[in-house]
């Protein structure tokens, strides 16, 4: 991609981003850099994203293989019902004023990409560079950034909604970045999420049963939960798709695939709990 095209895509995002080092506003230079008033400079990549984790390539624990596997299962529709549920929550709770939506921990960018047709300005951030490389490949108007989600490079009150799908939360930062009345849409795995894979490797796991109680409890301590929907379905799965699931989930990341007997699995269960939550104090 020509850098001019990338600059064009990020034009107008200066009001959303802020310098992660000194918190000052940015200007977007024609040459393809975000430059803050103190001179900190972050370059746009010709691949179509900006890297705010200066001096490092971001979190490299998650390789390309993982995000490409995720892309496979997303493209083949396994998460389409989850997307519809997220879209419904978004439609119901997105406030009328601010148009920016931040997907915090976007992975390969499925939800960010699919919400682009809502007319909102979508920003997708992840601390893994491979995730952002994967996300920005077909991202359309979505602005992708490698960023530390414990120090989000976005101004106070700059987003109307934050998506946080199967990804760790930083509630202090979410409360700061959300505009007053802004909504956090968070999805966490339900008890039966990928249960066929869990059963398959059960004796190798420290907890055979998954519980999301801690995650939900932590959210309830930090935000007011206004809505909670549960979605669960089982879809038939081919061997190739099953292998993609196996590669993409942290559940099996320490167990080589050849040590798991996947031969009897014919379907895969997706179980998610989707929340809409608000921060009563508005901007901290």
Based on the shown chain and the rule CB under 5 A, indicate whether residue 35 belongs to the binding site for Zn ion. Answer: no
| Size, binding site for Zn ion by CB under 5 A | 7
Half-sphere exposure of 231 (CA within 13 A, CB side): 18
d(CA 25, CA 34): 9
What number of CA atoms fall less than 13 Å from residue 63's CA on the CB side? 3
Question: Which CB sits closer to Zn ion, 21 or 225?
Answer: 21
Residues whose CB is less than 8 angstroms from the CB of residue 5 and which lie 6 or more positions away in sequence, other chains included: none
22 counts as binding Zn ion under rule CB under 5 A: yes
Of residues 74-93, those binding Zn ion (CB under 5 A): none
Nearer to Zn ion, 39 or 77 (CB): 39
Query: Residue 251 in contact with residue 269, Cβ under 8 Å?
Result: no
Interface pick for Zn ion out of 3, 32, 40, 235 (rule CB under 5 A): 40
Supply the minimum distance, in Å, between the C-beta of residue 39 and Zn ion: 7
φ, ψ (nearest 5 deg) of residue 166: 50, 45
19 binds Zn ion (CB under 5 A): yes
Residue nearest to Zn ion (CB): 19
The correct pick among 31, 38, 211, 253 for binding Zn ion (CB under 5 A) is: 38
Binding test (CB under 5 A) with Zn ion, winner from 36, 82, 146, 268: 36
Reading the block at residue 15, the tokens are 């009001």
In 3D space, the residue among 64, 62, 78 whose CA is nearest the CA of residue 245 turns out to be 78
Only one of the segments 20-28, 49-57, 148-156, 181-189 lies at the binding site for Zn ion (rule: CB under 5 A); that segment is 20-28
Compose the 256-275 pattern: x for residues touching Zn ion by CB under 5 A, - for all others.
Answer: --------------------
Considering the complex, what minimum distance in angstroms separates the CB of residue 36 from Zn ion? Answer: 3
* Cβ proximity of 140 and 113 under 8 Å: yes
Binding mask 108-137 for Zn ion (x = CB under 5 A): ------------------------------
Q: Which stretch binds Zn ion (CB under 5 A): 39-47, 110-118, 150-158, 172-180?
A: 39-47
Query: Least separation, in Å, of the C-beta of 152 and Zn ion?
Result: 14
Q: Which of 7, 21, 216, 284 binds Zn ion (CB under 5 A)?
A: 21
58: CB partners within 8 A, 6+ apart: 51, 126, 127, 128, 129, 132, 146
SS (H, E, C) 117-172: HHCCEEEEEECEHHHHHHHHCCCCCCEEEECCCCCCCECCCCEEEEEEECCCCCHH
> Does residue 50 touch Zn ion according to CB under 5 A?
no
| CA 108 – CA 66 distance, rounded (Å) | 9
Q: Which residues bind Zn ion (CB under 5 A)?
A: 19, 21-22, 24, 36, 38, 40
């Amino acid at each position: 991609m020509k850098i001019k095209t990338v600059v064009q895509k990020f034009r107008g995002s200066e009001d959303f981003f802020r310098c992660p080092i000194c918190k000052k506003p940015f200007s977007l230079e024609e040459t393809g850099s975000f430059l803050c008033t103190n001179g900190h400079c972050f370059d746009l990549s010709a691949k179509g994203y900006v890297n705010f984790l200066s001096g490092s390539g971001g979190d490299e624990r998650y390789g390309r293989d993982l995000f490409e596997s995720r892309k496979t299962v997303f493209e083949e529709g396994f998460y389409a019902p989850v997307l519809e549920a997220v879209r419904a929550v978004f439609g119901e709770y997105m406030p009328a004023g601010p148009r920016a939506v931040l997907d915090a921990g976007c992975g390969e960018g499925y939800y960010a990409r699919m919400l682009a047709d809502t007319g909102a300005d979508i920003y997708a951030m992840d601390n893994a560079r491979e995730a952002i490389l994967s996300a920005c490949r077909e991202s359309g108007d979505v602005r992708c950034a490698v960023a530390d989600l414990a120090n989000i490079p976005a101004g106070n009150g700059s987003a109307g909604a934050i998506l946080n799908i199967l990804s760790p939360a930083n509630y202090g930062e979410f409360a700061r970045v959300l505009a007053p009345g802004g909504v956090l849409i968070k999805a966490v795995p339900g008890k039966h999420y990928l249960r066929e894979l869990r059963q398959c490797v059960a004796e190798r796991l420290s907890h055979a049963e998954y519980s999301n109680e801690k995650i939900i409890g932590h959210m309830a301590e930090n935000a007011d939960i206004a809505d909670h929907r549960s979605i669960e379905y089982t879809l038939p799965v081919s061997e190739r798709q099953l292998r993609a699931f196996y590669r993409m989930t942290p559940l099996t990341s320490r167990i080589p695939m050849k040590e798991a007997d996947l031969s009897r699995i014919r379907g895969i269960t997706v179980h998610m709990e989707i929340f809409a939550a608000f921060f009563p104090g508005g901007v901290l």
